[in-house]
């Protein structure tokens, strides 16, 4: 079974936490890329929002890819902080909170950070739907979920 078959099978489960996790991966990539791209501007508030976006993307790496907590040398406090987002409600709050921060960047100027805000909000909504429907958080096996995630938590 190829990776694409694996991913297609995960999407067929209709578990919104899988949708949220893959949208979170997209948000992570966007946050890092747009954070770097907007960091080099003359507008100081946009520089602050882009730095926040960059830090958010880095945090999302550890939230969405749980195997990295075992591989990368991190502190116990950071590991405990990331483990708080192991359930749908925690992730929903995280993503919506990060999305709101990026939506606030519009106050300074309309930049490409809006794309990060949109994707963060969509990921938060997927996790919220999963929590409302009572779906158990299911991590993608492609991203180190399943058996690997149970070793970490």
List the domain boundaries for the chain. Answer: 16-152
User: What count of Cα atoms within 13 Å lies in the side-chain half-sphere of residue 99?
Assistant: 19
Read off the pLDDT of residues 22-44 as tens digits, 9 standing for 90 and up: 899 999 999 999 999 999 988 99
pLDDT value, residue 9: 55
Which residues touch 110 (CB under 8 Å, ≥6 apart)?
A: none
Are residues 113 and 38 in contact, defined by beta-carbon separation less than 8 angstroms? yes
Q: Which residues lie closer than 8 Å to 61 by C-beta, 6 or more apart?
A: 28, 68
Binned at pLDDT 50, 70 and 90, residue 18 comes out as: confident
pLDDT at 150 over 60: no
Say what the pLDDT of residue 152 is: 43
The pLDDT value recorded for residue 153 is 43
What pLDDT is stored for residue 1 in this prediction? 54
Distance (Å, rounded) from C-alpha 120 to C-alpha 102? 9
Q: Is 10's pLDDT higher than 60?
A: no
User: Any residues with CB less than 8 A from the CB of 115 and at least 6 apart, and which?
Assistant: 30, 34
Which of these, 49, 52, 37, 53, lies nearest to 119 by C-alpha position? 53
**Contact status, residue 53 vs residue 38, Cβ threshold 8 Å:** yes
How does residue 8 score in pLDDT terms, banded at 50, 70 and 90?
Answer: low
**Mean pLDDT computed over every residue of the chain:** 84
Q: What are the tokens at 129?
A: 């739907």
DSSP 137: P
Torsion, Cα of 42, 43, 48, 49 (10° steps): -120
Report the candidate in 95, 111, 133 with the shortest Cα–Cα distance to residue 38.
Answer: 111
């Amino acid at each position: 079974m190829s990776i694409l078959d694996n991913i297609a099978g995960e999407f067929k489960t209709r578990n919104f936490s899988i949708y949220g996790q893959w949208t979170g991966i997209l948000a992570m990539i966007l946050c890092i890329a747009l954070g770097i791209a907007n960091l080099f501007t003359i507008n100081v508030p946009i520089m602050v929002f882009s730095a926040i976006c960059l830090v958010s993307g880095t945090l999302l790496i550890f939230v969405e890819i749980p195997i990295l907590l075992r591989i990368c040398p991190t502190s116990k406090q950071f590991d405990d902080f990331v483990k708080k987002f192991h359930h749908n409600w925690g992730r929903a709050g995280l993503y919506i909170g990060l999305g709101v921060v990026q939506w606030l960047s519009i106050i300074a100027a309309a930049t490409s950070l809006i794309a990060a805000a949109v994707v963060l909000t969509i990921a938060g909504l997927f996790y919220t739907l999963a929590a409302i429907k009572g779906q158990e958080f299911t991590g993608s096996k492609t991203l180190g979920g399943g058996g690997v995630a149970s070793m970490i938590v």
